[in-house]
Every structure is written in structure tokens, then in C-alpha cells.
Amino acid sequence: MASTYKDAGVDLDVYAESMSRLPRLMHRTFSPRVMPSDGGFAGLFRLDFPGKLFARNYEEPVLVSGTDGVGTKLKIAQTMNQHETVGIDLVAMCVNDLICTGAEPLFFLDYVAMGRDDPARLERIVQGISDGCVDGDLALLGGETAIMPDMYGTDDYDLAGFAVGVVERKRLVDGHLIAPGDVVLGLQASGLHSNGFSLVRKIIADHGHQWSDVIDELNQDTKSPETLAQVCLRPTKIYVSAIRSIQSHYRVKQVLHGIAHITGGGIEENLDRILPPGVNAEIDPNAWTPNPIFQWLQQTGDVATSEMRRVFNMGIGMAVVINEYYAASVASQVAKAGIECSPIGRIVEGSSKVVYKDA
């Protein structure tokens, strides 16, 4: 009997149906800089606009790129059959890194690897990616879907993303302007974002909780009670609009001295990556109130404070370092973008590290 690809677990007709569902999710993210290339082998994107009205007129454009995934947060989505938001996480993890350089996001590519082809589920995943691209103001230019039945379980999948942006060399944010007296502003996180889920899943499993549980401590201020899964699957906040509002307000002065995306490693291991020699970032942990999920996880799992701060963002999704003179104005700009923002620390003389005031 002749062997077929379908016998091996890959049905090309089903794959074709999956692909037919994706173009509309891409097209809704396109700007005039995207050049039509449906059916081509690569996406096309113009770095500059033609004409005077929208032309960027770059002098020394620097391309910026980044890649990331979602991690074991995907296991919760797969267990609960809730796939609509992990695509937002994917975009957020990439584009939030990108804007730490001061870059304007341009376009995004995704890679989806699945154990079996499922057009409806793929559409739900890519709907989230499309939503994230709309929120981050970048084009979903293309991607790849791989069906690999021998690599993944039947209902397993993994995601990877790739973002590209551009920044004028003279406007590049790299931390070299950070100096004593600068203020560290913390931009509020939506929750866990996309880090630390191996520990989250262990705590929940070890203490006999179910993803469908409604935890009272996590629903004190909510009108509609959320399950543990809903709290943990809350998508990563995308900070593009906040950072671009600051850049738009200050077109001449470089008030953004440093930007750090707070992911795995927490504030300490991410903020210290941008500190120049001779300074410390002194963080006051009492300056903000972490999302309830962090206190619940710490108490439930008996996790040391130092471990919590190293694994999780603890309620701060992004930190920006600002000249003290502009700090209040910048905080106001961020608030207008719909993100809670407050001073959480200062830059002092030191040895290029983050120090908690209660340590």
C-alpha cells in the first residue's frame, strides 16, 4: 500500500484551509508601507514613505530586531482550550524589547509549530497575534506554520515571534545618558505577563488547585469573578503607545535616558542591563502595589521575597529612566496613554547594579 503525507500525520488539504484563514488577520495590520506580496516567499516593507507628507527622511536609520516566545504559559492555554490571548503575549514579548532602544516598530513575523493541523485553533492563535500587532502599531508581515506530529503532542503547539523596528542613530536609547539624580518610573503590568510560569504551574499543582478555581484573594476588586486560568492568562501589556507618546511630546530633547522591559529576572536583572558604570538604581519596593496574583503565589507557595523579585515582574512591566526635571511630565504622558505610572526609584552613585531600599 502506497504511503502518503496524510498517513504520516500531515493533511495538506487541511493545511490549505488553515492558510486561507490567515490573510485577513494580516491585512488588518498593514500600513501604506507594506507592499503587496500575497503568495510571495517573503514580506515587503518600505523603510520610508514616498512624498513629502509622510516621509521620514532618515539620516542614519538603525534597524532593530528582536525575537521571543511565550514559554510555558502556553500549557495553560492548551489545557483550558483558550487560545485567543497568547498571540498578544507573543507580540508583546518581542515589541516591548524592541522599544527599549527607542525604536519605532515596523513589522512582525510569527512561527507556529503544531502537533496536528487545526484550522480553527490556528485562527484563534493568529487572531491574538493580529490584535497584538494592531495594539503595537506594526504590520503582521508574514509567518510560518509547521505541522510536526512527531515533535509535539496531538494538542500541543509552540510560538515564536520576530519583530523589526527602526530608530535614528542620534535618538537611540542605550542607557549612556543615565546619571545620578535621574528618576526611575515604573509602568504598571497587567499581571504575570509571560514569565515564571514553570513556578506558577508548580505552585498550583503542588497545592491541589484547579485552573477553574475562583480564588477570593484574586477577585477583591473585580465585578466579574475570574478563574485562576483567566487571571494567569491575562495578556502581557504592550507599551508601544506609552513610549511613543513620550517621544512625540519631546521631539528635540532626549528625555528618555533608559528603558528596561521587566521580564524574567525581574527589575533587578533587567534594569541593571542598561546602567552605565558609576551608578546604581535604588528601588523602593513600597512605591507601588503589586497585582494580587503575586502575593497569592508567594503565600501559597511559601516563596522567598528575593525569589519572587528574581522570577516575576512584581507588577512593573517596564521601567523608564528620566531626567528628574521631566519625570512628572513624562508620567502624565504615560497616564494619558492609559497606563498607570509612578516613580519607583532613583539613580545614585554606585557600581552598575539595582539595589532595593529594604534589602
Segment 168-179, tens digit of pLDDT: 999 999 999 999
The 3-state DSSP class for residue 289 equals coil
Which range, of 49-58, 254-263, 320-329, averages the lowest pLDDT?
A: 49-58
C-alpha torsion angle, residues 291, 266, 319, 349 (rounded to 10): 130
Query: 87 and 121 in contact (C-beta within 8 Å)?
Result: no
Hey, is 233 helix, strand or coil?
helix
- Residue 52 has a pLDDT of 78
Asked if pLDDT for residue 325 goes beyond 80, the answer is yes
- DSSP-derived pairing of the beta strands 354-356 and 279-283: parallel
Q: Give the model's confidence band at 103: pLDDT under 50 very low, under 70 low, under 90 confident, else very high.
A: very high
Other Cβ atoms less than 10 A from the Cβ of 296: the count is 17
- Average pLDDT value for residue range 227-233: 97
Could you report the per-residue pLDDT of 136-162, keeping only the tens digit for each?
999 999 999 999 999 999 999 999 999
Q: Give the chain's mean pLDDT.
A: 94
pLDDT at 238: 98
Contact 114, 126 (CB under 8 A): no
> Boundaries of CATH 3.30.1330.10 in the chain?
12-171
Residues facing residue 249 across a β-bridge: none
Query: Which of the listed CATH numbers 3.30.1330.10, 3.40.1190.10, 1.10.4080.10, 3.40.47.10 matches domain 12-171?
Result: 3.30.1330.10
- 302: number of Cβ within 10 Å: 8
What average pLDDT does this structure show over 20-28? 92
DSSP string, 150-196: TTS-TT-EEEEEEEEEEEEGGG---STT--TT-EEEEEEPSSSTTS-
- Higher local confidence (pLDDT), 38 or 161: 161
Q: Which three cell numbers stand for residue 193?
A: 505577563
Portions of the chain given CATH number 3.90.650.10: 183-356
Asked whether the predicted pLDDT for residue 35 surpasses 70, the reply is yes
Helix, strand, or coil (residue 352): coil
- Helix, strand, coil percentages (3-state) for the chain, rounded to 5, are 35, 25, 40
CA separation for the pair 358, 347 (Å, rounded): 16
Pairwise pLDDT comparison (250 vs 223), residue with the higher score: 250
DSSP 3-state assignment of 235?
coil
pLDDT value, residue 155: 92
Closest by CA to 261, choosing from 338, 194, 199, 178, is 194
DSSP code of 273? G
pLDDT digits (tens, 9 = 90+) for 291-321: 999 999 999 999 999 999 999 999 999 999 9
277 pLDDT tier (thresholds 50, 70, 90):
very high
Measured between alpha carbons, how far is 255 from 246 in angstroms, rounded to an integer? 8
pLDDT at 87: 98
Residue 322 in this model has a pLDDT that exceeds 90: yes
CATH code for the structural domain at 183-356: 3.90.650.10
Find the angle CA(312)-CA(235)-CA(134) to the nearest 5 degrees.
130
- pLDDT of the residue at 285: 96
d(CA 229, CA 208): 14
Confidence of residue 359 (pLDDT cuts 50, 70, 90): low
Q: What is the pLDDT of residue 2?
A: 78
Letter for the amino acid at 253? K
Angle at 280 between CA 184 and CA 193, to 5 degrees: 50
* 3-class SS of residue 200: helix
